[in-house]
């Protein structure tokens, strides 16, 4: 199966980059212009008829969103991941909701969590998890979640910070907490 | 169907009547079967034969109209808070709230989350807090016995406080629920 998939993809998409492969798993990266073609080809010619998930990774350092479409060929027990990078500013990604109705739900969630818009999705912009959210999309890595939480929800005053070392002594070892790190720097 | 009338302030009963009604109320606490967070998992053994809370006169009811107690079990998202307010206001007087877990006290491990509130008693009147992450069923039973004692002493007055300070609670609720579409008074 893997040889057939690689051969078919190689012929049609010369800019394709192999990310990772296993006996039942192949992860490829294509140029963003040919994503829809690659997914369509995998569905029609190679039998990847199930869309498992659309996932997004916010690569802030490279200033891109890495979108991944996870497709599965259930007859051959084979999973194909097709990735592409999109710029973070005003990110627009083609919608696959015409091919798989499930994609519409994934795209609504991604729109809410990352602010990526999918033109062509009939239910785009409907509330999914966050109702009436007005701030920056919360799963972007430049969203300051603690600052937001303190500003909107507040905290109980007075809030006491207790160091476990105070109670059990030095047997706890180096704690990977802000307090533990601070103590380490002091030494 | 909603009742748009503003809640009336409860009248005062005679002292001996109060004692009898409080004793009756304390020994037949009926709980709304509604779980908001991970704490709902810890309630399962409490309902069933292992810890068997029916021996204390505590029973589960399928609808808030028949219940006295609302258990906020664990973290509470803003989306859930809207439903919880709706459920709480449908419960007939007198009504009590038990809040489980450190998430309801000061945010717990979700203190910096964008979607879970940190201090519950800004939005709803809490009678008993049970600490722990998550509290074991024994701790929840302890919380229930504390609530029973409070009711017998006539100190579980959260529902009266909610009626008298409705404007304060509504202001806080509307601050975080940005798409407020509940009626102003819905008992």
- What tens digit of pLDDT does each residue of B37-54 get? 888 888 889 989 999 989
Q: What would you report as the CA-atom Rg of chain B, rounded to the nearest whole angstrom?
A: 16
Query: Which residues of chain A does B117 touch, with a Cβ-Cβ cutoff of 8 Å?
Result: 153
Among candidates B115, B118, B176 on the partner chain, residue whose Cβ is nearest the Cβ of A156: B118
- State whether B106 and A159 contact (CB < 8 Å): yes
Q: Which residue has the tokens 């049609």?
A: A12
Q: Is the pLDDT of residue B104 over 60?
A: yes
Residues in chain B: 187
Give the distance from residue B24's alpha carbon to the nearest chain A alpha carbon, in angstroms. Answer: 35
- State whether B114 and A149 contact (CB < 8 Å): yes
Retrieve residue B94's tokens: 């007198």
**Residue A1: DSSP 8-state:** -
B176 touches chain A (CB under 8 A): yes
Long-range contacts of A100-103 (CB under 8 A, 24+ apart): A100/A51, A102/A51, A103/A51, A103/A54
Q: Give the residue among A94, A97, A69 at the shortest CA–CA distance from A81.
A: A69
Looking at domain B29-176, its CATH architecture is: 3-Layer(aba) Sandwich (3.40)
A149 touches chain B (CB under 8 A): yes
pLDDT tens per residue across span A33-64:
889 999 999 999 888 999 999 999 999 999 99
Predicted confidence band of residue A185 (pLDDT cuts 50, 70, 90): low
The region, left, alpha or beta by phi > 0 then psi within -120 to 50, assigned to residue A173 is left
Query: Which residues of chain B does A134 touch, with a Cβ-Cβ cutoff of 8 Å?
Result: 178
Bond prior to B94 in cis (omega within 30° of 0): yes
Retrieve residue A152's tokens: 């909107």
pLDDT at A175: 53
Cβ atoms of residues A69 and A81 within 8 Å: yes
- Closest chain B residue to the Cα of A128, Cα to Cα: B79
pLDDT tens per residue across span A114-159:
999 999 899 888 888 888 888 899 999 999 988 999 999 988 887 7
Domain residue ranges in chain B = 29-176
In angstroms, the Cα distances linking A16 to A27, A46, A65, A108 are 10, 17, 18, 28
**Residue B76: DSSP 8-state:** -
CA distance B102 to A158: 15
Q: What would you report as the CA-atom Rg of chain A, rounded to the nearest whole angstrom?
A: 22
- State whether A131 and B178 contact (CB < 8 Å): yes
Size of interface A-B (CB pairs under 8 A): 53
Q: Which residue has the tokens 């994503």?
A: A35
- State whether B176 and A134 contact (CB < 8 Å): no
Burial, A90: exposed, middle or buried (Cβ in 10 Å; 0-12, 13-18, 19+)?
exposed
- Mean pLDDT to the nearest integer, B11-34: 88
pLDDT at B1: 58
Predicted confidence band of residue B16 (pLDDT cuts 50, 70, 90): confident
Cβ atoms of residues B162 and B84 within 8 Å: no
At residue A45, φ and ψ (nearest 5 deg) are -90, -35
pLDDT tens per residue across span A68-86:
999 999 998 999 999 999 9
| Predicted model pTM | 0.82
Predicted confidence band of residue A173 (pLDDT cuts 50, 70, 90): low
- Mean pLDDT to the nearest integer, B103-108: 88
pLDDT at B42: 87
Cβ atoms of residues A67 and A76 within 8 Å: no
* List of domains in chain A: 2-155 (3.30.460.80)
pLDDT tens per residue across span B142-161:
999 999 999 999 888 999 99
């Amino acid at each position: 199966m893997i040889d057939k998939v690689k051969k078919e993809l190689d012929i049609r998409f010369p800019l394709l980059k192999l990310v990772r492969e296993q006996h039942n798993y192949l992860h490829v990266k294509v140029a963003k212009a040919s994503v829809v073609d690659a997914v369509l080809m995998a569905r029609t010619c190679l039998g990847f008829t199930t869309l498992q998930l659309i996932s997004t990774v916010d690569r802030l350092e490279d200033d891109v969103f890495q979108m991944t479409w996870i497709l599965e060929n259930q007859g051959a027990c084979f999973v194909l991941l097709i990735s592409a990078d999109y710029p973070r500013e005003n990110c627009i990604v083609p919608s696959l909701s015409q091919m798989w109705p499930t994609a519409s739900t994934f795209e609504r969630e991604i729109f809410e969590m990352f602010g990526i818009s999918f033109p062509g999705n009939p239910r785009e912009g409907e509330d999914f998890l966050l109702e009436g959210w007005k701030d920056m999309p919360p799963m972007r890595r430049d969203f300051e979640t603690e600052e937001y939480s303190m500003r909107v929800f507040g905290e109980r005053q007075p809030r006491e910070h207790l160091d476990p070392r105070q109670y059990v002594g030095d047997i706890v070892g180096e704690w990977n907490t802000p307090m533990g790190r601070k103590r380490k720097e002091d030494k | 169907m909603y009742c748009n009338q503003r809640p009336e302030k409860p009248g005062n009963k005679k002292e001996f009547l109060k004692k009898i009604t409080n004793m009756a109320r304390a020994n037949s606490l009926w709980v709304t079967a509604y779980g908001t967070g991970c704490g709902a998992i810890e309630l399962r053994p409490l309902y069933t034969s292992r810890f068997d809370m029916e021996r204390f006169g505590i029973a589960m009811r399928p609808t808030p109209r028949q219940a006295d107690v609302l258990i906020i079990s664990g973290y509470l998202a803003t989306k859930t808070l809207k439903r919880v307010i709706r459920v709480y206001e449908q419960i007939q007087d007198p009504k009590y709230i038990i809040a489980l877990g450190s998430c309801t006290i000061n945010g717990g491990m979700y203190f910096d989350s964008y979607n879970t509130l940190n201090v519950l008693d800004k939005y709803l009147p809490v009678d008993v807090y049970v600490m722990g992450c998550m509290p074991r069923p024994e701790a929840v039973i302890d919380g229930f016995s504390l609530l029973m004692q409070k009711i017998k002493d006539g100190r579980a007055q959260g529902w009266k406080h909610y009626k008298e300070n409705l404007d304060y609670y509504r202001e806080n609720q509307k601050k975080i629920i940005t798409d407020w579409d509940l009626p102003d008074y819905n008992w």
